[in-house]
Amino acid sequence: MPKTSEDLCQLTINTIRTLAMDAVQAANSGHPGTPMALAPVAYKLWADFLRYDPQQPLWPNRDRYILACGHASMLLYSLIHLAGVRRLENNSQPIDEPAVSLDDIKQFRQWHSTTPGHPEYGFTAGVETTTGPLGQGCGNSVGFAIAGKWLAARYNKPGFELFNYNVYAQCSDGDLMEGVAQEAASLAGHLRLSNLCWIYDDNQITIEGETELAFSENVPSRFRALGWHVVEVDDANDLVALGQAYEAFLQHDDGPTMIVVRSIIGYGAPHKAHTAAAHGEPLGADEIKLAKAAYGWPEDQSFLVPREAQEHFAGAVGERGGAAREKWEQSFARYQKEHAGLAAEIEMMLRRELPPGWDAAVPEFPPDAKGMATRVSGGKAENALAARIPWLVGGSADLAPSTKTLIDKSTSFEADDYSGRNLHFGIREHGMAAAVNGMTLCGLRGFGATFFVFSDYLRPSMRLAALMSVPSIFVFTHDSIGVGEDGPTHQPVEHLAAVRAIPGLNVIRPGDANEAIYAWRIALRDHKHPTALVLTRQNMPTLDRTKYAPAKGVERGGYVLIDAVGGKPQVLLLATGSELSLACAAYEELAADGIAARVVSLPSFELFEAQDDNYRHAVLPPEVTARVAIEAGVRQGWDRYIGPGGGFVGMDGFGGSAPAPTVYEKFGVTAAAMVAEAKRQVGR
């Protein structure tokens, strides 16, 4: 029975440690060492500083705690359990059940448990973002902090400080070795995000051994050079020093803070167990007994949670967080009366709703043989939508003049003005995408833009957006060999197949200016999936919609653009993006030659696959097996629509440097090639 508050603190810390050991042992899988080492670090933060109400895990102004080193997930699950965080129904309303029960901890890493191997957003209340791939949580944290600063700049008014939350990211050596964390840290330092604190576990161990094998830099010096305030704590078990470090963060208002904490992985374990802990392995029953003995813990008890520890921790977190949340709600009730319009915005944003008439001002483009690039029409659509959706906020990786994503009549988001909606992410594609995910997790409609070929640089963050069902928007321009003179280094050919391979990501490659309008509408209307908009650099004809079907068909992913007379085609011509006009030209030539064709615009495989069989078969009749697809990319992925015997006009290698029309001609991505293949398909 604890006799002093110090004893009670230590009891709670050891509860966190032993839960981690026991859960990993029961699963025979996982990482016990980091939770054992960092238990005091996390305990001190949650018990004495974190403003978080376990009864209302989605309170908008809560502090965010992000476990970037997601392999240490049992640290977070133990904290959630001991704090008494409530479960969320449909990831929205709290119910009177624990988010992580003791039974859940006993089912660590098992099917359908709320304690998966790495923390997963939307699966477990208290988990703010999906982490595991190292560095991602660091990148997300910068987006959380950006969102906090923007929300404060827009919505805080005299007498109403609605948004002033802080963001804490627990990170490891591995996180800081990843490039995405460096990109994120550089951006955070430039923006002087004083609401951001990274807590770096300097334990000098990675899976292969001592960090000196591959990592010898001076991390504190690096971060000071990036504009961070650095505080060093020599011993992870020193609660007084930890408290002083957290206070130092709260007092520093001119940039982000890094707290460097030196810890011993698997703290308290005997040497053999320490080695296992360092390499992400269970300690073993005998070693666990020795470790528990070192903690003064009952050696033969597993999953022991002393009542005093849980009451102490839940009380400490809940009392402070609950009081802050209640005060906030009272303030917001007054705010609703004094600033009704802004309050309504906040509520819509948090519910993932859009304002009435949000797309009423979107332009419609008249037929034009010369037309425009879809990056241009997409930019016009984005601006029309941004005028009605104030929380549409984003930017590009130093490419706004090329991606056409600058929001007109808005300032830049910078350290001396956080109200701007135009973010300048710099040439940091991966950091940009990770930050956009963090912004979107806070309710903003975040977007990031770059050239399509650089989707390779941010793919891990795009994948995680899909995994989390977070509606981030990724705008990719310069989508094909149409880039022309820049040559094969900048001409994406395999990238469409690559992004289409990500489950849950809607990829839309519009075929003219009006399809691009609908692509933006779709992206903003969808609050459960991220969207990749794939847009052209070069002009393409704006189709005459009195001759061709309405562009609204984009909403179904694919539609009949123009049909054979009588609706009985001999051959189907499928196309996306800039190649759609080539399919239309092929249609005319085939008609002149007596061959009945149907042109199908297929800008989004994912949206098309979401339609029922009747619709898909109406667009692509199974009985019409003569099919040709044209796309300035590789064939991979197209066989589902054209079949193994279907024709494909596209790329089977990299591009070349020349004007775009020359490149298309030299690689045979032409209407003439499509006509020739269509004739072969119908035996002509």
Catalytic residues: 429
Please provide the size of the chain in residues: 684
Q: What are phi and psi of 601, to 5 degrees?
A: -85, 125
Can you read off the two tokens belonging to residue 618? 């109406």
Q: Which residue do the tokens 């994912």 mark?
A: 606
Can you read off the two tokens belonging to residue 455? 């989707």
Q: What are phi and psi of 359, to 5 degrees?
A: -115, 15
Sheet holding 597-601, edge to edge: 559-562, 597-601, 571-575, 627-630, 647-649
Residue 449 has what DSSP assignment? E
Q: How far apart are CA 506 and CA 290, in angstroms?
A: 52
Q: How far apart are CA 83 and CA 317, in angstroms?
A: 6
Residues 6+ apart with CB under 8 A from 611: 556, 557, 558
Q: How far apart are CA 449 and CA 400, in angstroms?
A: 8
Residue 85 has what DSSP assignment? P
Can you read off the two tokens belonging to residue 169? 């990211």
Q: How far apart are CA 237 and CA 41, in angstroms?
A: 7
Q: What are phi and psi of 395, to 5 degrees?
A: -175, -165
Q: How far apart are CA 611 and CA 573, in angstroms?
A: 20
Q: Write out the DSSP string of 385-442.
A: HHTT-TTEEEEESS-HHHHT-PPTT--B-BTTBTT-SEEE--S-HHHHHHHHHHHHHT
Q: Cβ(388)–Cβ(361) under 8 Å?
A: yes
Q: How far apart are CA 308 and CA 419, in angstroms?
A: 46
Can you read off the two tokens belonging to residue 214? 């591959």
Can you read off the two tokens belonging to residue 133? 């791939």
Cα dist. 26→19, 282, 292, 313, 648 in Å? 10, 9, 16, 25, 53
Residues 6+ apart with CB under 8 A from 218: none
Can you read off the two tokens belonging to residue 665? 């001609």
**Which segments of 49-127 does DSSP mark as H helices, in order?**
73-83, 102-106
Q: How far apart are CA 360 and CA 445, in angstroms?
A: 18
Q: Cβ(313)–Cβ(12) under 8 Å?
A: yes
In 112-181 the beta strands, taken as DSSP E runs, fall at: 167-172
Helix (H) or strand (E) holding 461: helix 455-468
